Amino acid sequence: MPARTIPNPTHIAPSASILRSFAHDFAISNLTVGLVLRSPPRTRSNQPMDKIGIGLIGCGTVGSGLVRNLPLANPLLEERLGIHLEIRGISVRDLSKPRASLPLQPVSDWKKVVADPRVQILVELVGGTEEAFHIAEACLKAHKPLVTANKALLAERGQELIPLAQKHATPIYYEASVAGGIPVLKALREGLVANQLLGLHGIINGTSNYILSRMAEAGSDFATVLQQAKELGYAEADDRLDVDGIDAAHKASILCLLAYGFLPKFSEIPVEGIRKITAQDVTFARQLGYIVKLLALVRPVGKEQIEVRVAPTLVPAHHPLASVHGAFNAVGLIGNLCGPVQLTGRGAGPDATSSALLADLAEAAKNVRDQSPGPLFPKVDRKARLIPSGDSVGRFYVRIEVEDRPGVLAQVAGIFGSEKIGISSVLQPEGHGAGSVPLVFLLEPCSLSSLQKAVAQIQRLPNTRQPAMILRVEDLT
């Protein structure tokens, strides 16, 4: 088949014929497909092959996975799109670091890759926010589409990056930034575009989900399972991004942007990690009919407020999220037309992330070939604000360690009642030594500020032993 190389497109406004052609497109995003098919199909026999040059900035675990999987994906891209992706530039920070075989000699200066006229699409995989922002800025100013898996860049620097992309009318593709091989962003942008979203929730950090799953299965404590996760490669040596909820909060910000056109200020998002979770909390939750998960939640509250939070949360044992084990991810949402939907799959790892990166590269290459505008960010001028965490209303699990004496339960219940907080369930297990006993409460809906006020009073009782454990409860639909 004859091959042709597509030059860098000059930036043009979409013609009416191009816009009309979008009506014939449909998207299939899957772990192995992630491609955009066009009607009528181009085949090897009736169309020339278009070679699209890509540049790779960063070649660590994810970048190496992309290099390894690209030759496997290219036959599919050729058959289904008439496109062949060709790596024409690679930059890495450390040229002396041993690496798997690369298709060409890397350079240390990423600016050379951006400036290379043979490179039409850039893939940023350096991580972090500072250098990554400068890379993204250079790509957009050069009118070269950017593909990235960098959720921190979008969540923390999106307020600067989005106007830049809009100013230069150059798209950023970021499917790989949330939930790895699960095509949740494409679902929000395309398949659910006609739905008003009533809320989103998800397990979007595989490390934390692996740890909580193992704690539930083995009855082990957090520290033991965390060490096992590091030995097995499920947790990084520096585990703070995963275990303390920061990674999940980055992804929740991006989901909020796509779902509601609002990018929250990252520092204002309430974030709790899973370090405080004990084996007995996991056991008590199960006895009450719940499973503990690190849950990201995004939902509108009235017309002008949006709740975004990440916290260890009790979810019903019968809910589909409760059956998401190990390092798997899942995102659930509720649309006014489609009802509840849940997408589940591998949320991390070089292969799952490659699936999302290749899907974005396929879409970007198609748009470069057709000189079509890619997907720009939604408008982010929505007049909304994050709901203050103290105003957040919901159900809660509270565990209090008290002296094993008569009347203590009545005292604690009386304080909850004085703050107009109802109690739906109580567990009073046998004491576990030293004269103390846990009291476990499932509460009716109340504001977090009211609960904190009540707990502060309870902690001042002479019979309480340890700081109270407070976990959220979500009875998901």
Rounded distance between C-alpha atoms, residue 367 and residue 9, angstroms: 10
**C-alpha–C-alpha distance, residues 189 and 363, integer Å:** 13
Choose among 349, 354, 34: nearest CA to 190: 34
By CB atoms closer than 10 A (0-12, 13-18, 19+), residue 418 is: exposed
DSSP per residue over 13-65, as a string?
PPPHHHHHHGGG-EEE--SS--EEE-SSPP-TTTSPEEEEEEEEE--SHHHHH
DSSP assignment of 262-319 equals: ----GGGS-B--STT--HHHHHHHHHTTEEEEEEEEEEEETTTEEEEEEEEEEEETTS
- Count CB neighbours of 197 within 10 A: 19
Residue with tokens 């939907």, as numbered in its chain: 341
**CB–CB of 159/263 below 8 Å?**
yes
Cβ neighbours of 75 (radius 10 Å): 10
Residue 252 to residue 271: CA distance in whole angstroms: 11
Is 251 catalytic? The answer is: yes
Q: How many residues would you count in the chain? A: 477
- Residue 180: strand, helix, or coil: coil
Which residues have a Cβ under 8 Å from the Cβ of 351 and sit 6 or more positions away? 65, 69, 181
Reported in sequence order, the residue ranges of 336-392 that DSSP labels E, i.e. its strands, are 339-346, 385-386
CA-nearest of 83, 5, 82 to 47 is: 82
> Which two structure tokens, joined as six digits, stand for 285?
């939750």
Alpha-helix residue ranges (DSSP H) falling in 124-221:
130-141, 151-167, 184-186, 206-218
Structure tokens at 99: 């690496």
Task: Examine residue 388 and say whether the peptide bond preceding it is cis (omega within 30 degrees of 0).
Answer: no
φ, ψ for residue 349 (rounded to 5)? 100, 155
Q: Which of 144, 151, 251, 293 is catalytic?
A: 251
For the annotated catalytic residues, the residue numbers are: 251
